[in-house]
Amino acid sequence: MNIYVGNLDYNATDSDLRNMFEEFGEVSSANVIIDKSSGRSKGFGFVEMPTNSEATEAISSLNESDMNGRSIKVNEALPRETNKSTARNSFRSRY
C-alpha cells in the first residue's frame, strides 16, 4: 500500500520516514519529496508498505501523531488523476 505523509518537518529525511514506519512492519520505500529548483523538502512524502494490514495499522497509529514538533497527516495515497484530453481542451478553449 502506498501511504501519503503530510505536514512533515522540512528537515525530515527518507530515513526518518522509514524508521517511523518500520515499527509497524516491512517498508519497501520511503521518500520525502524534494523541490527540484530549491533542493528543499516540500513537506510531504510517501511510504510503500507491501502488507496492507501493517500499512493500515501504521496509518491509524501515526495519523495526527507528532514528528519533530509537527502533527503529521497520514493516509492511503490516492493515485494522481491524469486526464490528458481535459488539459488539451482547456488550452484550446482559451486560444
The pLDDT value recorded for residue 80 is 80
Q: Could you say which DSSP state residue 16 is in?
A: H
Farthest CA pair distance, the chain: 54
Confirm whether pTM is higher than 0.85.
Answer: no
Which three cell numbers mark 34?
524534494
Q: Identify the architecture of domain 2-94 in CATH.
A: 2-Layer Sandwich (3.30)
Instruction: Write down the pLDDT at residue 81.
Output: 76
The residue ranges of every structural domain in the chain are 2-94
> For a pLDDT cut of 70, what percent of the chain falls above it?
85
Q: pLDDT tens across 48-75, in order?
A: 999 999 999 999 999 999 999 999 999 9
Residue type, 88: R
User: How do residues 21-50 score in pLDDT, each as one tens digit?
Assistant: 999 999 999 999 999 999 999 999 999 999
Cβ contact 77:3 at 8 Å: yes
Positions of E strands within the chain: 2-6, 29-34, 41-48, 66-67, 70-71, 73-76
pLDDT at res. 64: 98
Q: What values do phi and psi take at 61, rounded to 5? A: -80, -35
**Dihedral of CA 59/28/13/38: which sign?**
negative
